[in-house]
Structure 1
Amino acid sequence: MKICFLTPEYPHHSTRSSGGIGTSIYNLAKGLIALGHQVTVIVFAQYEEATFEENGVTIYKLKNVSFKGLSFYLTQLKIAKLINKLYSEHKIDIVEAPDWTGCTAFVNVKCQVVLRLNGSDTYFCHLDQRPVKRKNRFFEKRALKRADGIISVSKFTGDLTNEVFGIKRDFEVIPNAIDTSQFEGSSNLSNEQTILYFGTLIRKKGSLELPLIFNEVYKKNNQAKLVLVGRDASDIITNNKSVWQMMQPLFDKEAFKNVTYLGSVPYSEIKNLINNASVCVFPTFAEALPVSWLEAMAMQKPIVACNIGWATEVIEDGKEGFLVHPKDHELYATKIETLLQDKTLQLTFGKAAKDKVLQKFSIEVVAKQSLAFYSNYISK
């Protein structure tokens, strides 16, 4: 089978910055290639155009068309032209694209197009309780209605997507995946009592709740340390250019002495930081199915995460970690402190987390599920 991914992001040193969508495509591509299939990735919105192959993946970098008022539409015509060329040359059989900003709204191609729901702009605006841009909602709804098939990374995301757009599209739940061989945990029980958060510092991921949660942890345990890893972002509500600047005054003076912000670090260093942590925390308000949770779980780390929507599809409360609403700062802190003080519970949760990732979220499992889905549409 020859699968083509259309995406605005893909992790490579020559492409623009990449986030969760790019990582999930990278992981899935690796799994598909390992099963003997061909993968092509078309990355639009790039600074320059190029075609090359890396790790068995053929990558096409495309620049967007710049024309006032018509850039989006003309770029999609350009994308469609390339896809139809590759399809006519028997280099691809099917195209998968994300739902974000409706990047296939006007892509008319000869092959079948599948959308994978990782959370559209409309979806995240709904969870954030803020208005969505009309054009984004229009493009995303059009793309959803025109798609031949739909995959959702969680049932919650699929159901909520139908609800916010007022549509009733059938979808199949196939989660995001990670390469478990790259995240081998050593069951390292750190004596540092380190709490790790890794991800963008942004309101929707609960970054502004973290200081208030850690203040409560510090009151119980002044040996606890909080390590923050990830790029700083602007705040969409206040227009402040730095969420990290907004976070700092929220920490109690003494608690702040035990806080370390490392900023963005190379992806290869994340594994060491996870391995040296006692607990990983993700007090997020808006996700679809976060890869960061899976990475921590694969390294046998207990997690204290949010209890919203998708969370129960990843973690069973009290088995692989604890689920608490991010606004319940005192209870959240209590769960963290419970894990910091109970090494046996850390091991128990960590082992259960690793087992779940192997059974449900490995690239081998998810690649096979995706191939079965694609085959239904290629036959059409």
Structure 2
Amino acid sequence: MKILFILHYPPPVHGSSVIGQSIRDSKLINDTFKCRYVNLLVSRKLNETGKSSPKKVFRFIGIWLNFIREILCNRPDVCYLALTVYGSAFLKDVLLVLLLRILRIRHVFHLHNKGVKQNESKWIYRLAYKFVFKEADVILLSSHLYADVESFVPLAKVHICPNGIDEVFDKPINRTVEQNEVPKILFLSNLLESKGLFILLEACSILQQKGIHFECNFVGAEGDICEGQFNYLVNKKQLSAEVHYLGKKFGQEKFELFKQADIFAFPTFFECFGLVNLEAMQSCLPIVSTSEGGIPDIIEDGVTGFLVPPKNAEALAEKLEVLIKNPELRIQMGNAGRIKYEKQFTLSTFENKLTNILLHIGSEKKIKPKPKEKVLFILHMPPPVHGSSIVGKMIFDSTLINSSFSCNYINMLVSRSLNETGRATSLKVFRFMLIWCVFLFRVVVKRPKLVYLALTVSGTAFFKDFILIAVLRFLRIKRVYHLHNKGVLKFQTKKRYRLLYSFVFKNADVILLSKHLYQDIASFVPISKIHICPNGITDEGLAEPKNFQANNIVNILFLSNLIDSKGVTVLLEACSSLKNRGLNFNCIFVGAEGNIDTFHFNEKVRALELTNNVTYAGRKYGADKREYFIDADIFVFPTFYSNECFPLVLLEAMSYSLPVISTFEGGIPDIVEDSFTGFLVPQRDIYALADKIETLISNPQLRAKLGEAGRKKYESDFTQIKFEHHLQSIIEDVLK
């Protein structure tokens, strides 16, 4: 089998180039395959990396011509490419992949770097990644790195091959307790900030301030930090007696430094694998590193060394201190690391694994994958932020949904802020016309097998949806509606609506958020066409039960837009009742203004004499919103909104282990189990609401019990993963 290896080899020296040199020199690989090699590096020094120059352009032209000659004259069966996944090097690699795709040459990418997840939000990268990774096999250094490429590479195309290094010692180093009177810490890498250099200097400063004796040697070529900058920082931190920069070292000089060291420190915060960790294990050194990239596959925390959070100088200093003060532990961990190196990370182990992977790829018959069914998703996405738009964004971002079907998306929202909702404007008409044009193109030209529609069942939005459905019915395209609202039962008494509902729901499948919502559409949709799919949310909550204190002021949280039908006034009246009962509490309202603005809200608070008990915090997102959930003791949502179906905010509260008080509206009884995860009260019943809040204020143990039960129910029923799998299964059933 003929393989063209397009890889990196020194100079400069870094992980990918070292492995590239090992592949080129491998007797096993060269004996097994007919190999040809192209060096892809255009930078010959580390400080050239990331900088453009005429010299590098000239080198790339030479690489490109060499590459064309190899694939045209020698026509390889497989092309192996050490792909860079971001920056100008990625764009350079895309050109090579383009030619491989045109000539239909099978290709496998060996990723020694990461960054796909970080860059995929940029449209240019997202398009390029879809093109580059399509039908390609990918070799990863660790299973921990799959998350970086999972949006573009199916698991079946992934091969795991940890790096390995050649043995440089005749026999393992015999370390003793008395080796160095002052323990020596070694850092060996290029002087790059992302390798944790500043973090290690800060940790050294912490150790010095504790009066701990040590020596720390930094070894490596200058990178984005030069020797002058390094020495300036060392002097500024008054570490010149403990910290030394020894420059770059290779061969025997480098191995001597490993022999003389007692501890190896590598606090990187952007890494895939870190070959230098293998060198340290080979040298019987205990390692203190981070949980970055594939490092947890190399270092067993507490066995061969310690793993600390990235960018945490205090945690790094703490683990270094443990090893400095415990020479027996250093020897024990170093020996365990050596054993692990011999079992998993020798060069011969790496060569065997890579050879087997390439043989497997070369022997596989190229089976044309079954084309994915085309699904057009017409849904809502923020802004504004509400339940339906949050779920729409979740579907749009879902790796599972997008890898299961050939998906296209249309954002159906014409309102871009909450106060635009329900109001007619020329801008909204213009937005709808754009949506209409995109819709016609997608259904006529792309011709999907199924259209998923987040249907609105009343108001002007319903008539807008009706126009789209008429086209789908005319073109005989299968439909499934996802209802995040209700109102059919209310409006079906009107003849016009009744006729339209009969037309809209005929032969359509319907996804409901709860079985309690079926009665709303029972007159138009047979039960055989119903699919139940509860919403789910990303887990950003607290897995541990909250520790409620008996004597603290109890914090009540309401989080929703300030809309009267969400129970804002009802809760304020209940708070007034609680105050009159002499209870000690704070009630915080969080959310955007709706049909109640800040002025009228504060007027109501003053009229009820609640200024010391009630606070309006405005709208909050992300980390700010999270803080309010963490500080809360009780979550209250006394909605009587006629279109309320399945409030996501209740799932958020349960994920934070909060007891919930809500109403029997819509599908809420499927979320909140009365007296088990919280309490349900009749809509608009101020005193029933106040009674249940008082019960929880007076009983911290009950709050903890209900909150813990709510967290467990969230984990079992309402996670994002559960929702995505459930929705995928429903769409597959409808397509069949």
One-letter amino acid matched to 2:483: L
Unaligned runs of 5+ in 2: 1-371, 417-426
Match of 2:610 among 247, 252, 255: 255
Matched-pair contact (CA < 8 Å) for 1:5–1:40: yes
- The secondary structure found in structure 1 opposite 2:610 is helix
Give 1:312's aligned residue: 669
Match of 2:533 among 151, 157, 174: 174
Match of 2:695 among 324, 333, 338: 338
Identity %: 20
Give me the whole-angstrom Cα distance separating, in 1, the residues matched to 2:704 and 2:496.
Answer: 45
Query: Given the superposition, is the C-alpha separation of residues 17 and 351 from structure 1 closer, same or farther in structure 2, using an over 3 Å criterion?
Result: same
Matched, 1:96 2:452: yes
Give 2:393's aligned residue: 26
Query: Given the superposition, is the C-alpha separation of residues 219 and 135 from structure 1 closer, same or farther in structure 2, using an over 3 Å criterion?
Result: same
Give me the whole-angstrom Cα distance separating, in 1, the residues matched to 2:561 and 2:440.
Answer: 32
Query: Given the superposition, is the C-alpha separation of residues 136 and 158 from structure 1 closer, same or farther in structure 2, using an over 3 Å criterion?
Result: farther
Matched, 1:303 2:660: yes
Match of 2:478 among 90, 93, 112: 112
TM-superposed deviation, 1:40: 3.8
Give 1:154's aligned residue: 514
Matched-pair contact (CA < 8 Å) for 2:696–2:703: yes
Q: How does 1:165-314 map to 2 (within 5 A)?
A: 166-170=523-527, 171-180=530-539, 182-189=540-547, 191-234=552-595, 242=597, 245=600, 248-249=603-604, 253-286=608-641, 287-314=644-671
Q: How does 1:324-363 map to 2 (within 5 A)?
A: 324-363=681-720
- The secondary structure found in structure 2 opposite 1:150 is strand
Give me the whole-angstrom Cα distance separating, in 1, the residues matched to 2:430 and 2:620.
Answer: 33
Give me the whole-angstrom Cα distance separating, in 1, the residues matched to 2:602 and 2:615.
Answer: 12
Matched-pair contact (CA < 8 Å) for 1:122–1:136: no
- The secondary structure found in structure 2 opposite 1:280 is strand
Give me the whole-angstrom Cα distance separating, in 2, the residues matched to 1:117 and 1:86.
Answer: 25
TM-superposed deviation, 1:46: 5.2
Q: What CA deviation, in whole Å up to 9, does each residue of 1:66-104 have, x standing for no partner?
A: 49xxx67x95464132244334xxxx6533211213324
Matched-pair contact (CA < 8 Å) for 2:505–2:525: no
Matched-pair contact (CA < 8 Å) for 2:401–2:724: no
Q: What CA deviation, in whole Å up to 9, does each residue of 1:102-153 have, x standing for no partner?
A: 3243342564221011114656xx4xxxx89x89947972674246311111
Give me the whole-angstrom Cα distance separating, in 2, the residues matched to 1:10 and 1:294.
Answer: 19
Query: Given the superposition, is the C-alpha separation of residues 139 and 359 from structure 1 closer, same or farther in structure 2, using an over 3 Å criterion?
Result: farther
Q: How does 1:112-131 map to 2 (within 5 A)?
A: 112-120=478-486, 122=488, 126=490
One-letter amino acid matched to 1:204: S
TM-superposed deviation, 1:265: 1.5
- TM-score, normalised to structure 1, is 0.77
Matched-pair contact (CA < 8 Å) for 2:484–2:646: yes
**Greater CA drift, 348-357 or 361-370:** 361-370
Match of 1:85 among 445, 464, 467: 445
Give me the whole-angstrom Cα distance separating, in 2, the residues matched to 1:136 and 1:192.
Answer: 54
Query: Given the superposition, is the C-alpha separation of residues 348 and 222 from structure 1 closer, same or farther in structure 2, using an over 3 Å criterion?
Result: closer
Matched-pair contact (CA < 8 Å) for 1:79–1:107: no
Match of 1:10 among 353, 359, 381: 381
TM-superposed deviation, 1:252: 5.3
One-letter amino acid matched to 2:454: P
Give me the whole-angstrom Cα distance separating, in 1, the residues matched to 2:450 and 2:609.
Answer: 56
Matched-pair contact (CA < 8 Å) for 2:513–2:667: no
Matched-pair contact (CA < 8 Å) for 1:6–1:43: yes
One-letter amino acid matched to 1:275: I
**Greater CA drift, 166-175 or 285-294:** 166-175
Give me the whole-angstrom Cα distance separating, in 2, the residues matched to 1:153 and 1:115.
Answer: 11
- The secondary structure found in structure 1 opposite 2:594 is coil
Unaligned runs of 5+ in 1: 49-62, 235-240
TM-superposed deviation, 1:29: 4.5
Question: Which structure carries more helix by proportion?
Answer: 2
TM-superposed deviation, 1:309: 4.2
Q: What CA deviation, in whole Å up to 9, does each residue of 1:257-302 have, x standing for no partner?
A: 2111012122442222111100000100131111110110111100
- TM-score, normalised to structure 2, is 0.42
Q: What CA deviation, in whole Å up to 9, does each residue of 1:324-367 have, x standing for no partner?
A: 11322122112112112222111111111111111111222222
The structure having more radius of gyration, on CA atoms, is 2
Query: Given the superposition, is the C-alpha separation of residues 136 and 177 from structure 1 closer, same or farther in structure 2, using an over 3 Å criterion?
Result: farther
One-letter amino acid matched to 1:341: S
Matched-pair contact (CA < 8 Å) for 1:44–1:64: no
One-letter amino acid matched to 2:469: A
What is the CA RMSD across the aligned residues, in angstroms? Answer: 3.3
